A and B are shown apart, each in its own frame.
Chain A
Amino acid sequence: MTVPSWDEVEVGQRIPTDRETLDQAHLIAYAAASGDLNPLHWDPDVAAEVSPTGGIIAHGMLNMGNVSRAVTRWAGGPERVLSLAATFKAPCPVGSTVTYGGEVVELDEHARTATLAVWAETEDGAKVVDRRSSRAVVQLG
């Protein structure tokens, strides 16, 4: 993988976006892989009672994982991602098609790092990961 070099990265630069539809099978695979067994993500009866939408919603951490995938690809490897923070603002209904993106908002010359605002958004514009308070810090080459 190519590591973005300090000389080439500028504030305002966007990373390539990623898009994915999160169906029920996907949520179940994620629940099993991560150990996050909250029934809100797989049991329609529980979701009808407790979900903010009245239906099954995707794990915030699945969307954060997908944000991380887009950032890691741009950064040139997992070891270049120094921190990640995500705020799960809007619920993400099962079946949503979600776009994942990021934009360089700050550069630190001393540490040679870039801070990215990152986000995940449904086609309806729901901010499932809100860019105003979600960040990734990447070690540049």
Chain B
Amino acid sequence: MGHSYPPYRYEVSREKVREYAAATGVDGPARTAERGEVIAPPTFAACFTVGRFDALFADPELGAHWNLVHGSQEYVFHRPVRVGDVLACTPRIVDLRARGRLDVLTLQIDCLDADDDTPVVTSRGTLIFFTGKE
């Protein structure tokens, strides 16, 4: 428990934000009125959190498999995600419990600005694995 995975880097590119925005039907990237920053839609965070859950699947000790559903997801935005950001993201298992035939895993990913280590997004998601066990 509390197991951390090695941090990975994610660079926020304009084209990726555009692709994500098109797939979810939003305008993007957007420019903020006050500071003129070019920022991503809030749930663009999926691209560098849920889209990187494969780190879990590469861990033989965890034994994760694709027989799962996403139970819940939470994001706290410490500041907007900007085009050009380089994020350092550290996944950490904060809870893992068996509920009958299910294993419920809670994964937190702390995403920091790689330039100055200030927090950008905190992600917390639960994954429900069907174990087939009674």
Contacts and interface: CB of A to CB of B under 8 A. Distances in A.
5 contacts: A38-B68, A68-B43, A79-B37, A83-B75, A88-B70
Interface stretch (A29-37, A105-113, A119-127): A29-37
Interface of B: 16, 19-20, 22-26, 28, 30, 32-33, 37, 39-43, 46-47, 50-53, 66-77, 80, 130
B91 to A, nearest CB: 14
Given A34-B46, A66-B25, A69-B25, A78 B41 contact: yes
Contacts of B39: 78-79
Nearest to B122: A83
A35 to B, nearest CB: 3
Interface size class of A (residues with CB under 8 A): 35 or more
Contacts of B47: 33-35
A52 interface: yes
A59 B70 contact: yes
Contacts of B50: 34-36, 61
Contacts of B75: 83-85
Between B37, B52, B75, the greatest number of chain A beta carbons within 10 A of the residue's beta carbon is seen for B75
A46 B40 CA distance: 33
Given A65-B41, A81-B77, A88 B69 contact: yes
A33 B66 contact: no
A40 interface: yes
B42 A78 contact: yes
A83 B77 contact: yes
B73 A64 contact: yes
Contact of B43 (A29, A46, A61): A61
Nearest to B77: A82
Contacts of B37: 79
Contact of B32 (A62, A65, A79, A83): A79
Between B26, B53, B130, the greatest number of chain A beta carbons within 10 A of the residue's beta carbon is seen for B26
